[in-house]
């Protein structure tokens, strides 16, 4: 199957449309799958998952130890070994469970199709980290030429969701790492994207984690100042620095107005509870 000719027909019909028919001897049931030695099976290049949840992997291993691998993995021949196209979690859990072999369906999948299947299968599981998901979308677009709409159709999401996910790749590596580690949510990451400079993004990311800010607090810390009052002049670099430092320290929007050596400081809050939190931060 040639990806350039088949992708538009396959994407709208789900993952099964991308997987070539099984050989006749394997088509009757899962019992017809081959038993492959685990050491002959290797992870595929298309795996978007960078972190595997050890607790969930242990649960799957316990289930496999009790009931076996119910659904065969999908592999393709690569030299004298087999490359996983779909089912790496089952393979890892089978190793953890102490199995020596695993049921597998061997299919003649082209390299580009193998990448598509691996990415889409994991994206459809809906348990990828936001950064892993964004990088998978990026690979589908850059390496395989899918449009945002085609990606959305393939994984059952709307195009805006795909577009917002791809924006996360504008984050510096340090902030991406915080999202991968679960220290920052996608909401936090999207709020941090409101800043322009990578250094400022990294600085805010550290503060959000250290102070355990909510998404709303993070959003307020990145909001621009309100238009300056008539006659106040343009905001200087020093004033901008003071405003941004105060916003990060307090976790809310701050406006600084300065004129003729005097000025006012306006601290915004949305509820009495937030005001109490501000007072606690100020030691009042």
Known catalytic residues are 88
In contact, 281 and 250? CB cutoff 8 Å: yes
Residue with tokens 């980290």: 129
Q: Considering Cα of 83, then 88, then 94, then 98, what sign does the dihedral take?
A: positive
CA 148 to CA 141: how far, in whole Å? 7
CA 159 to CA 152: how far, in whole Å? 5
Residue by residue, DSSP assigns 201-230 as: HHHHHHHHHHHT--HHHHHHHHPPPPPPPT
What does residue 254 show for φ and ψ, rounded to 5 degrees? -130, 140
Nearest to 46 by CA among 85, 17, 12: 85
């Amino acid at each position: 199957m040639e990806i350039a000719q088949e992708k538009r027909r396959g994407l709208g019909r789900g993952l099964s449309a991308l997987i070539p028919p099984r050989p006749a001897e394997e088509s009757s049931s899962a019992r017809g799958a081959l038993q492959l030695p685990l050491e002959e099976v290797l992870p595929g290049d298309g795996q978007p998952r960078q972190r595997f949840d050890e607790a969930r992997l242990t649960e799957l291993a316990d289930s496999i130890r009790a009931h076996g691998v119910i659904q065969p993995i999908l592999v393709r021949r690569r030299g004298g070994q087999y490359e996983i196209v779909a089912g790496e979690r089952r393979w890892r859990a089978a190793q953890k469970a102490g199995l020596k072999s695993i049921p597998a369906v061997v299919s003649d999948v082209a390299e580009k199709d193998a990448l598509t299947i691996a990415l889409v299968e994991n994206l459809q599981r809906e348990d990828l980290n936001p950064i892993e998901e964004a990088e998978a979308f990026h690979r589908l677009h850059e390496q395989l030429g899918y449009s945002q709409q085609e990606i959305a159709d393939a994984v059952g999401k709307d195009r805006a969701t795909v577009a917002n996910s791809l924006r996360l790749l504008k984050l510096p590596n340090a902030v991406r790492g915080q999202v991968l580690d679960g220290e920052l949510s996608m909401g936090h990451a999207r709020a941090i994207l409101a800043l322009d400079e990578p250094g400022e993004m990294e600085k805010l990311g550290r503060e959000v984690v250290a102070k355990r800010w909510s998404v709303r607090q993070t959003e307020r810390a990145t909001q621009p100042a309100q238009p300056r009052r008539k006659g106040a002049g343009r905001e200087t670099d020093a004033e901008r620095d003071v405003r941004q430092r105060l916003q990060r320290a307090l976790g809310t929007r701050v406006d600084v107005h300065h004129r003729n050596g005097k000025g006012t400081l306006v601290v915004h809050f949305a509820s009495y509870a937030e005001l109490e939190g501000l007072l606690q931060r100020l030691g009042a």
